[in-house]
Amino acid sequence: MPFAAGEIYCGLACGPGPDGHWRGWIDVRVPPDGLRRLGLHPDQPTSRPGHPSPPGWWHADAERRARRQR
């Protein structure tokens, strides 16, 4: 593993969502120095979304096409 023991923090939280169904959230944290050793750093432009996600119809069409190919 590229990280030292104790360098990664993983947290798990569970609870009911707004619709009443239970959900789980995972929180993974690595210190910036650990990422820099891998050639990554928090200030890289690609560490944040660079553009908006495609519209909803695009996702729905992709799912329909995927079902047809099976």
In terms of Cβ atoms closer than 10 Å to its own Cβ (0-12, 13-18, 19+), residue 16 is exposed
Strand partners, 15: 23
Cβ atoms of 15 and 23 closer than 8 Å:
yes
Residue 11 sits at the vertex; the CA angle it makes with 9 and 17, to the nearest 5 degrees, is: 155
Residues 36-60 have pLDDT tens digits of: 888 887 677 665 667 788 888 888 8
Residues 5-41 have pLDDT tens digits of: 888 889 999 999 889 999 998 988 888 888 888 888 7
Residue with token string 């890289």: 44
pTM higher than the cut 0.75: no
